[in-house]
Amino acid sequence: MRTAPAEAAGPAALAAEQRERRASGGARVGLCLLCGLPAAGKSTLARGLLRRLPQRPGWACALLAYDELIPPEAFRPRAPGAGPQEPSPLLPGWKQSRRQLLQCLEEFLRALLSGAPLPGPAQPGWQRFLGRCCPERLLPAAGAASRPLVLLLDDNFYYQSMRYEVYQLARKYSLGFCQLFLECPVECCLQRNRLRSDPVPEQTIQLMARKIEMPDLRKNTWEQHSLILNSSECISEDDEQIMNLLATALENPERPIEEDTEQKEAARAICAASAVHQADQACRRVISEAMQDAKGKSLLPSEMRSLAEELNKLKAEFLEDLRQGKALKTQYSDPTTSVISSFQHKAINVVNKYILK
């Protein structure tokens, strides 16, 4: 039972509720990206999965086709003299529409996970989102039948950054995440595109082919649930590899950011070690300059040795404070800068004690 209204629940609470629902046999939610060049076969495969998934595994399913959800004016070419022509996904209107679409998707997910009614048309593009996707049909279906829900996102997603923003949404709400990347030769895409009733400009496909970034499973751990398929031939929606990928993503949802304590601790340890190293180097320079200054004041060798010992002891104490995370209260907010500034001030006092005796 929730102790707060669903509308007030934040992403962490909704992610926790999603985990509880899975543990009790409740509905699981997964986001599946269909990526690749125009005419690579993404929409054909998406429509096949939309028909097949509710029949075979018994999953609820919805298709978010970006071509249908983004208004046509976002694809308008640049005016003459506006610079080198780029594929339409790079236009500012396209970028803005993508952000709005992602916001609409998040609003739908929040309603799905919290059990709250769908919100009003607060987000730009919300009415288009509702009209094309009919997500209101999925809310009772996914909850009442406790069926896994697969949301298919059909778009080129040719930059990793475009896919990563959807991954961040999956991670934020502890959802499943996977990618189906359709690899198809450019000439094959161009040939298919020419048969379309509304073909994409060939220059767009060629330029996108030069820019497209395939999933890199070795470099990007967040792309571990990815499948690269050769789509020069027809891909069956009954492909066992696809079914296994979807099932794996649903069974292994992404960990919310707040749960990733090990990574945070490792990052903090690296930063702390770097801060101590920088402070140590800076303190050594301060000591060297202080000793040179004292040497010019004709101090005795015994006094120089005592001064060096006192300065090095002072340095050790300051570095230990930094290792312990003790931020010294000075005008600087950065602990490393605070240590260096404080050490320099103390070192001057120590030197003056010998010079002004």
Cross-strand pairs, 181: 35, 228
Do residues 197 and 325 both lie within one domain?
A: no
Q: What is the DSSP string of 276-312?
A: HHHHHHHHHHHHHHHHHHHHTTT--HHHHHHHHHHHH
Do residues 226 and 318 both lie within one domain?
A: no
Cα(40)–Cα(36) distance, integer angstroms: 6
Do residues 316 and 197 both lie within one domain?
A: no
Which residue segment(s) compose the domain that 184 sits in? 6-259
What pLDDT does 251 receive?
A: 92
The CATH number given to whatever domain includes residue 85 is: 3.40.50.300
What phi, psi does 29 have (nearest 5°)? Answer: -125, 135
pLDDT higher than threshold 80 for residue 262: no
What pLDDT does 141 receive?
A: 47
Q: What strand order describes the sheet that includes 149-154?
A: 60-65, 149-154, 29-36, 176-183, 226-230
Do residues 95 and 235 both lie within one domain?
A: yes
Q: At what angle do helices 126-133 and 92-114 cross, to 10 degrees?
A: 70
Do residues 228 and 326 both lie within one domain?
A: no
What pLDDT does 298 receive?
A: 79
Do residues 161 and 252 both lie within one domain?
A: yes
* Ramachandran bin of 58, using left for φ above 0, alpha for ψ from -120 to 50, beta for the remaining angles: left
Question: Higher pLDDT residue, 280 or 196?
Answer: 196
> Model confidence at 74, in pLDDT bands (50, 70, 90)?
low
On whether residue 132 sits in a domain, the answer given is yes
Last residue of a domain, one of 211, 226, 259: 259
How many domains in the chain? Answer: 2
Tell me the three state secondary structure of residue 65. strand
Q: Are 38 and 211 in contact (CB under 8 A)?
A: no
On whether residue 213 sits in a domain, the answer given is yes
What is the chain's mean pLDDT, rounded? 79
Last residue of a domain, one of 202, 236, 259: 259
- Torsion of the alpha carbons at 307, 312, 318 and 321, rounded to the nearest 10: -140
Give the best-scoring range by mean pLDDT among 36-45, 51-60, 63-72.
36-45
Do residues 92 and 219 both lie within one domain?
A: yes
Integer CA distances (angstroms), 239 to 49, 56, 275, 287, in order: 10, 12, 52, 69
The Cβ of residue 186 has, within 10 Å, a number of other Cβ atoms equal to: 17
Last residue of a domain, one of 259, 281, 301: 259
What pLDDT does 250 receive?
A: 93
